[in-house]
């Protein structure tokens, strides 16, 4: 049973349309993607399109129209096709789409080239995904051009705007039902991380831990993994986008796991770092505790009104001081921050918006370029990390090869914030305890 229903999509469309004076909006589904030769990647819908109608088929469009007199939404879908049903499964088709979607009209996608000319007639503004270029949008431009020389047409498209900016501003604030979907994704991701901690041992391969987690995701109904899992033993954790996951896990090393699933297309994004054998060395614990302290202090500072840029700056100050405390950097924190010396060991940002996309492409600044302040309903990851390469001779030997990131998903509430992934163990004691009880 899906969490979302037509009421949510309809109200999102109404909100989008209410922000325009007039115009035509065209939203396109994601194309199916070939993996190799005649095999395809599992289909993943375009998040902006899905947000506005919840439809999961390719070759479909959502068109919305607003004039002074009329406001309407139309879907264009593939008709039912026996051959497609046999090989790839049944399409919803026009008639069933009329029953399912609370839109004003449903048309066959093959009628789009003719109908779009009628739809654009006498409109001056067209809203599309300006940075995507599917044939549907090309067709709309062609139709708008055709209307320029059509007798009796009085008004013509004068401007094409990016609609994604409007939709993504809307996506920034999550409704209760979206938070429920994110929580569901996190619930399974929590299970998977705990499972990885419970089965980890030296001599296993990184991909074995990945497979244990995938099993938890898929066997519990997750719609997909939210991104390519990172399972990085030892020094591999110092490659930020390590997705090879083919190395052996060694005694005495840490393993960094950045892996999470989607629920009804809503992402989670979680990182935990723990000792392969369940017991931190002194040096690992020192660095781990510093990263954890930074993470806890950053989360503590999150509340409505706090600017995202300020949080970034604050996290850099904390990380820089942590690096000084560990003896990895030396000097004045202020001077080190100015020269960006801390970036060598803490190179990435403190976090990102999360929602229908793991890196939700919602704005970080307002139209004047000023950093946005947190508002109730925003969801951001908080993921500080310290990374010390094995070959870095500037750092004490005991720290070399240690890479640690701790990542949670944080919801801004009316008073402060809620760590939605707080149930995933992360203190040194909790990790050692859960791992002590594992079956070897």
Task: Select the residue interacting with ligand GLY from 78, 258, 262, 360 (CB under 6 A).
Answer: 258
Which residue, among 171, 260, 179, has the nearest Cα to 213 in the 3D structure?
260
Q: Does 206 bind ligand GLY (CB under 6 A)?
A: no
Task: Select the residue interacting with Mn ion from 78, 208, 264, 269 (CB under 5 A).
Answer: 269
Strand partners, 74: 63, 105
Cα distances (angstroms) measured from residue 68 to each of 23, 123, 155: 10, 11, 14
Q: Angle at Cα 279 formed by Cα 202 and Cα 238, nearest 5°?
A: 65
Q: Which is nearer to ligand GLY, 120 or 354 (CB)?
A: 354
Query: Does residue 383 have an active-site annotation?
Result: yes
Shortest reach from residue 285's CB to ligand GLY, in Å? 23
Q: At what angle do helices 135-148 and 112-120 cross, to 10 degrees?
A: 50
Distance (Å, whole) CA 366 – CA 51: 21
Q: Which is nearer to ligand GLY, 54 or 355 (CB)?
A: 355
Shortest reach from residue 354's CB to Mn ion, in Å? 7
* Residues near ligand GLY (CB under 6 A), total: 7
**Out of ligand GLY, Mn ion, none, which partner does residue 227 contact, by CB within 5 to 8 A per kind?**
ligand GLY
Q: In this structure, what token pair is assigned to residue 48?
A: 């902006």
Q: How many other CB atoms are found less than 10 A from the CB of residue 397?
A: 10
Which residue, among 136, 175, 163, has the nearest Cα to 58 in the 3D structure?
136
Cα distances (angstroms) measured from residue 412 to each of 192, 295, 330, 385, 421: 25, 16, 35, 22, 13
Q: Does 409 bind ligand GLY (CB under 6 A)?
A: no
Task: Select the residue interacting with Mn ion from 319, 381, 403, 431 (CB under 5 A).
Answer: 381
Shortest reach from residue 411's CB to ligand GLY, in Å? 17
Distance (Å, whole) CA 17 – CA 160: 16
Query: Does residue 123 have an active-site annotation?
Result: no
Query: Does residue 269 have an active-site annotation?
Result: yes
C-beta separation of 357 from 369 below 8 A: no
Task: Select the residue interacting with ligand GLY from 48, 78, 129, 407 (CB under 6 A).
Answer: 407
Q: Which is nearer to Mn ion, 60 or 271 (CB)?
A: 271
Q: Does 269 bind ligand GLY (CB under 6 A)?
A: yes
Shortest reach from residue 188's CB to ligand GLY, in Å? 16
Q: Which is nearer to ligand GLY, 247 or 407 (CB)?
A: 407
Helices (H) and strands (E) in the chain, counts: 13, 19
Catalytic one of 44, 250, 359, 400: 359
Shortest reach from residue 359's CB to Mn ion, in Å? 7
Distance (Å, whole) CA 376 – CA 279: 39
C-beta separation of 186 from 409 below 8 A: yes
Task: Select the residue interacting with ligand GLY from 48, 247, 253, 383 (CB under 6 A).
Answer: 383
Distance (Å, whole) CA 381 – CA 176: 18
Q: Which is nearer to Mn ion, 119 or 350 (CB)?
A: 350
Q: Does 129 bind Mn ion (CB under 5 A)?
A: no
Shortest reach from residue 383's CB to Mn ion, in Å? 5
Of residues 383-422, which lie at the interface with Mn ion (CB under 5 A)? 407
Which residue, among 432, 426, 390, has the nearest Cα to 406 in the 3D structure?
426
Query: Does residue 84 have an active-site annotation?
Result: no
Which residues have C-beta within 8 Å of that of residue 374, sequence separation ≥ 6? 302, 303, 304, 305, 306, 307, 308, 380, 412, 417
Catalytic one of 84, 110, 155, 241: 241
Contact residues: ligand GLY, CB under 6 A: 227, 258, 269, 352, 358, 383, 407
* Catalytically active residues, by annotation: 38, 241, 258, 269, 348, 352, 359, 383, 387, 405, 407
Contact residues: Mn ion, CB under 5 A: 258, 269, 271, 381, 407
């Amino acid at each position: 049973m899906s969490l979302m229903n037509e009421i949510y999509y309809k109200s999102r469309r109404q909100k989008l349309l209410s922000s325009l004076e007039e115009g035509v909006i065209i939203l396109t589904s994601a194309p199916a993607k070939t993996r190799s030769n005649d095999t395809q990647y599992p289909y993943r819908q375009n998040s902006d399109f899905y947000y506005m109608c919840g439809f999961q088929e390719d070759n479909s469009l959502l068109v919305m129209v607003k004039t002074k007199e009329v406001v309407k939404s139309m879907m264009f879908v593939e008709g039912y096709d026996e051959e497609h049903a046999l090989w790839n499964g049944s399409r919803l088709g026009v008639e069933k789409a009329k029953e399912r979607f609370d839109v004003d009209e449903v048309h066959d996608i093959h009628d789009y080239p003719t109908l779009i000319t009628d739809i654009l007639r006498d409109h001056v503004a067209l809203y599309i995904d300006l940075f995507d270029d599917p044939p549907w949008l090309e067709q709309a431009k062609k139709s708008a051009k055709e209307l320029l020389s059509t007798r009796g047409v009085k008004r013509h498209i004068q401007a094409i705007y990016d609609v994604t900016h409007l939709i993504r501003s809307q996506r920034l604030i999550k409704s209760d039902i979206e938070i429920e979907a994110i929580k569901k994704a996190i619930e399974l991701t929590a299970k998977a991380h705990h499972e990885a901690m419970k089965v980890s041992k030296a001599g296993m391969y990184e991909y074995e831990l990945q497979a244990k987690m995938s099993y938890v995701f898929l066997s519990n109904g997750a719609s997909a993994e939210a991104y390519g899992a990172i399972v990085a033993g030892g020094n591999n954790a110092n490659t930020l986008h390590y997705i090879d996951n083919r190395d052996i896990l060694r005694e005495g090393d840490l393993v960094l796991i950045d892996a999470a699933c989607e629920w009804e297309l809503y992402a989670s994004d979680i990182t935990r770092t723990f000792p392969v054998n369940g017991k931190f060395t002194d040096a690992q614990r020192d660095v781990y505790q510093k990263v954890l302290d930074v993470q806890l202090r950053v989360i503590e500072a999150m509340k409505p009104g706090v600017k995202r840029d300020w949080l970034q700056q604050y996290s850099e100050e904390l990380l820089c001081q942590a690096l000084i405390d560990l003896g990895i950097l030396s000097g004045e924190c202020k001077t080190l921050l100015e020269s960006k010396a801390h970036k060598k060991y803490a190179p990435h940002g403190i976090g990102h918006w999360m929602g229908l996309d793991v890196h939700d492409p919602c704005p970080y600044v307002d139209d004047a370029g000023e950093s946005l302040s947190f508002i109730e309903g925003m969801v951001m990851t908080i993921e500080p990390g310290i990374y010390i390469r094995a070959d870095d001779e500037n750092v004490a030997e005991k720290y070399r090869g240690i890479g640690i990131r701790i990542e949670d998903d944080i919801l801004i509430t009316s008073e402060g914030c809620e760590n939605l992934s707080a149930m995933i163990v992360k203190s040194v004691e909790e990790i050692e305890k859960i791992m002590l009880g594992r079956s070897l």
